[in-house]
Amino acid sequence: MSIQDRYRLWTEDPYFDEETRQELREITDPQEIEDRFYTDLEFGTGGLRGIIGAGTNRMNKYVVRKVTQGLAECVCDHGQEGMRRGVVIAYDSRRYSPEFALEAALVLAKNGIKVYLFDALRPTPELSFTVRHLRALAGIVVTASHNPKIYNGYKVYWDDGGQVPPVKADQILARIEARESWLGIEPLSLEEAKRCGLLQIIGEEIDKPYLARVGKLALYPDLDKQKGKELSIVYTPLHGAGNILVRRALSELGFSSVNVVLEQEHPDPEFTTVPYPNPEIPATFELARKYGNAVKADLLLATDPDADRLGVALRTPQGDYIQLTGNQIGILLTYYILSQKKALGTLPDNATIIKTVASTDLADEVARYFNVQVENVLTGFKFIAEKEMEMEEGGWGTFEFGFEESYGYLAGDFVRDKDGIIASVILAEAALYYQQIEGRNFFAVLERIYQQFGYYLDDQESLALEGKLGKEEMALIMDSLRQEEIHELCGISIERFDDYELRIGKNFETGQTYPLKLPRSNVLRYSFEGGGFVMVRPSGTEPKIKFYFSVKADTLAGAEDFLRKVKEDVMQRINQIRAV
């Protein structure tokens, strides 16, 4: 079906509601029509994410219906038992999130599948927990995570509580693509779904056991109860789903001095106080800093709209606040968990941490110091969850902690995705422990780590390349880098080059190639001699190509100079490719 045929169908067929047809009829730009209909919104290993609007390449209820029908058919493949186990659905504070969640629930119910739908917005990690807790076959969370307000998305989870693995995602995609028609997918009525017992609303009965498991992750619960009030925290949910559970989790452990940023406390799909609801971005902490200055808070915490990511800013001795990078948070949590479990005698012999190839090599050095194994996986927390499950099933490792540089962290075995609630609790306890027991703050702890293992600094750059032309330009950049053998950057030798798309690596010192064991992915990684790397990959969730920089030096000044030079070198090369 041509672009014009698709456009005509969506503007004329009564299956599509009048609001949808009118929105499309008002478009006068041919390029806009092409962008909305030249393809279907891509269903990847994590699900969907796209701009809200009418069209096959947008997030709307008809796209949700079609994808959900594909998922429903895969659930039905598991027979009556799979249909009875059912699907859990959660959603965040974005535009149309409740509507899309209900639409998915009623399409599943139409297929005779049991659905557990949350009574209000909930964090993504709680959805992961609930799939495991209820022994459901699958889960859906309607969210676009930290993307701008014009986006929404649809993430699919399987029975282990992790994001749907590639094999299962391919099966769902095959069912979606096998259905050529957009017409005829009719959801069951809400009244009928409830009457038949196919739709069950859930809430507090899930919150309680989830929070109980979070609380058990505390290493020093008595310290938390006795001294938790001494740690002053400012928290912002950035208008999202973390507000209630983050505050309850901290309060139940004893952290009672928590001030919430009132202007950002309640759900707001417009995200009116932030240009971009992403805790990685310093601007998101602007209001939190004002609150922090007013109460002299030790920590500023921010979770993104679906509360799976955590951003942190620390109060300096001068009284201002410095934001930590995702890698710095990951290192602090890794060091705290491993060092304190070792001191308590609870660190098992087969202890393992899992991190992504985009995350700092400093974690590998810290882990080795504590005789802990490191598993490096592809970018995306689903790969951390898959490796954790592989360890459990194989009995060859005990998962202690997992993180990715993009502000995602996980401890415990009851959630299979990054968890901003868990991260908030462990980070608060770590800050309290160092404050009350060792008389130092996180800056001093980081400095001690750097002096022991070397100064690792990291940064990111990204290019926003939207639409069809953007995809083509990303492909050009990746192809050009893949064809050029880069042996040095800003005068520093590249020791190894790994191409995860071809699954081949090369050691430039020996000239030997070697196979890469990780799954195929469009990622290029350049490892420096002596430590650190540059990595390039198109984002799997945003119309961006990302550049990751991680450097190591003996001094902070040396690391800062190295980081500046390597960024300049790489981005100059990229600009030359784009100029061709």
pLDDT tens sequence across 235-246:
999 999 999 999
- Pairing of the two strands 504-507 and 492-499: antiparallel
Q: What is the DSSP string of 29-74?
A: -HHHHHHHHSSPPP--SSEEEEEBSSSTTSBSHHHHHHHHHHHHHH
User: Average pLDDT for residues 92-117, to the nearest whole number?
Assistant: 98
Q: Same domain for 178 and 297?
A: no
Q: Same domain for 128 and 26?
A: no
Q: Same domain for 290 and 354?
A: no
pLDDT tens sequence across 336-392:
999 999 999 999 999 999 999 999 999 999 999 999 999 999 998 999 999 999 999
pLDDT surpasses 80 at 580: no
pLDDT tens sequence across 244-299:
999 999 999 999 999 999 999 999 999 999 988 999 999 999 999 999 999 999 99
Place of tokens 């992790």: 162
**DSSP code at position 419:** -
| pLDDT category of residue 44 using cuts at 50, 70 and 90 | confident
Q: How confident is the model at residue 39, as a pLDDT?
A: 94
Residue where a domain stops, chosen among 398, 418, 438? 418
Question: From the CB of residue 148, how many other CB atoms can be counted at a distance below 10 Å?
Answer: 14
Residue 258 lies in a domain: yes
Tokens coding 126: 């709680």
Average pLDDT over the chain reads: 95
Residue 222 lies in a domain: no
Gap between the Cα atoms of 549 and 73, Å rounded: 43
- Pairing of the two strands 233-236 and 199-202: unpaired
Residue 110 lies in a domain: yes
Tokens coding 285: 């902490």
SS3 357: coil
Query: 144 near 108, Cβ under 8 Å?
Result: no
| pLDDT category of residue 541 using cuts at 50, 70 and 90 | low
C-alpha distances out from residue 173 to 42, 164, 166, 386, 412, Å: 9, 11, 10, 20, 31
**DSSP code at position 438:** I
Query: 149 near 270, Cβ under 8 Å?
Result: yes
Three-class DSSP labels, 491-537: CEEEEEEEECCCCEEEECCCCCEEECCCCCCCCEEEEECCCEEEEEE
Tokens coding 518: 């990780």
Q: How confident is the model at residue 467, as a pLDDT?
A: 81
**DSSP code at position 284:** G
Residue 368 lies in a domain: yes
Gap between the Cα atoms of 533 and 526, Å rounded: 5
Gap between the Cα atoms of 449 and 91, Å rounded: 39
Question: From the CB of residue 164, how many other CB atoms can be counted at a distance below 10 Å?
Answer: 27
Q: Same domain for 195 and 248?
A: no
Long-range contacts of 66-69 (CB under 8 A, 24+ apart): 66/176, 66/179, 66/182, 66/185, 67/43, 67/154, 67/172, 67/176, 68/103, 68/104, 68/107, 68/108, 68/140, 69/107, 69/111, 69/175, 69/176, 69/179, 69/185
What are residue 534's phi and psi, to 5 degrees?
-125, 135
Q: Same domain for 70 and 198?
A: yes
Residue 491 lies in a domain: yes
Q: Same domain for 55 and 185?
A: yes
Q: Same domain for 105 and 194?
A: yes
Task: Please give the helix or strand (H or E) that residue 177 lies within, else none.
Answer: helix 166-178
Least confident of 131-140, 387-396, 540-549: 540-549
Which of these, 230, 239, 238, 193, lies nearest to 86 by C-alpha position?
Answer: 193
Q: State the residue range of the domain holding 273.
A: 231-323
- Pairing of the two strands 151-158 and 321-323: unpaired
Q: Same domain for 468 and 371?
A: no
Residue type, 531: G
Residue where a domain stops, chosen among 292, 323, 354? 323
Residue 357 lies in a domain: yes
Which of these, 51, 259, 15, lies nearest to 147 by C-alpha position?
Answer: 51
Catalytic pick among 93, 128, 145, 406: 145
Gap between the Cα atoms of 371 and 350, Å rounded: 9
CATH code for the domain in which residue 549 is found: 3.30.310.50
Gap between the Cα atoms of 318 and 310, Å rounded: 24
Q: Same domain for 396 and 516?
A: no
pLDDT tens sequence across 457-500:
999 999 998 888 888 899 999 999 999 989 999 989 999 999 99
| pLDDT category of residue 530 using cuts at 50, 70 and 90 | confident
Q: Same domain for 167 and 65?
A: yes
Task: Look at the chain and report how many structural domains it folds into.
Answer: 5
Catalytic residue at 145? yes
User: Average pLDDT for residues 128-146, to the nearest whole number?
Assistant: 97
Residue 490 lies in a domain: yes
CATH code for the domain in which residue 348 is found: 3.40.120.10
Q: Same domain for 312 and 401?
A: no
pLDDT surpasses 80 at 540: no
* Percent of the chain residues topping a pLDDT of 90: 92
Q: How confident is the model at residue 166, as a pLDDT?
A: 82
Gap between the Cα atoms of 508 and 494, Å rounded: 7
Gap between the Cα atoms of 242 and 238, Å rounded: 8
User: Average pLDDT for residues 76-99, to the nearest whole number?
Assistant: 98
Gap between the Cα atoms of 39 and 362, Å rounded: 42
Q: Same domain for 168 and 71?
A: yes
